[in-house]
Chains A and B, each alone.
Chain A
Amino acid sequence: MPQRFKFRARDVARTFTASAAVTALALTAACGSRAGEETAAAESCVDTSGDTVKVGALNSLSGTMSISETTVRDAIYLAVEEINAAGGVQGKQIEIVAEDGASEPTVFAEKAEKLIREDCVAAVFGGWTSASRKAMLPVFEDNDSLLYYPVQYEGLEASENIFYTGATTNQQIIPALDYLAETGVKSLYLVGSDYVFPRTANAIINAYAADKGIEIVGEDYAQLGSVEFSTIVNQVNASGADAVFNTLNGDSNVAFFREYANVGLTAEEMPVMSVSIAEEEVGGIGVENIEGQLAAWNYYQTVESPENTTFVEAFKAEYGAERVTSDPMEAAYNSVYLWAATVEKAESFAVEDLQAAADGVSFASPEGTVVIDGDNHHVTKTARIGQISADGLLYTVWESEGPIEPDPFLEGYDWAADLKVTE
Chain B
Amino acid sequence: MDLLVGQLFTGLSTGSILLLAALGLSLTYGQMGVINMAHGEFIMAGCYTAYVTQQVVGDAGVSLLIALPTGFLVGGAMGLILETLLIRHLYHRPLDTLLVTFGVGLVLQQVARDVFGAPAVNVTVPQFLRGGVDLLGTAVPKTRLFILALAIAAVAAVTLVLRFTPAGRRIRAVVGNRDLAETAGISSRAVDAGTFFIGSGLAGVAGVALTLIGATSPTTGQSYLVDAFLVVVAGGMGRIKGAVVAAIALGTFQAVFETYSTASLAKVGVFVVIVVFLQLRPQGLFTLRTRSLA
Contact = CB atoms under 8 A, between A and B. Distances in A.
A220 B14 contact: no
Interface string A262-300: 111000000000000000110111111000000000000
Contact of A284 (B2, B17, B215, B262): B215
A70 to B, nearest CB: 8
A101 B124 CA distance: 34
Interface residues of A, number: 38
A253 B132 CA distance: 19
A280 B118 CA distance: 11
Interface in B177-223: 210, 212-217, 219-220, 222-223
Interface string B115-147: 001111111110000111000001111111000
A228 B210 CA distance: 11
Interface string B233-254: 0000000000000000000001
Given A228-B254, A258-B213, A280-B119, A234 B7 contact: yes
B110 to A, nearest CB: 9
A84 interface: no
Contact of B215 (A66, A255, A264): A255
A195 to B, nearest CB: 10
Interface in A354-397: none
A27 B110 CA distance: 33
A232 interface: yes
A222 B143 contact: no
A227 B223 contact: yes
Contact of B131 (A222, A231, A264, A287): A264
Shortest 7 CB-CB distances between A and B: which pairs? A284-B120, A262-B141, A67-B118, A254-B215, A251-B215, A286-B122, A222-B263
24 contacts: A64-B118, A219-B262, A220-B262, A221-B264, A223-B267, A230-B14, A231-B7, A231-B10, A231-B255, A232-B263, A234-B138, A237-B139, A251-B214, A251-B219, A254-B217, A258-B212, A261-B130, A262-B132, A262-B142, A263-B132, A263-B140, A264-B139, A283-B119, A283-B122
Interface of B: 2-3, 6-7, 10, 13-14, 17, 113, 117-125, 130-132, 138-144, 210, 212-217, 219-220, 222-224, 254-255, 258-259, 262-264, 266-267
Interface of A: 64, 66-67, 194, 219-223, 225-228, 230-232, 234-235, 237-238, 251, 253-255, 258-259, 261-264, 280-281, 283-288
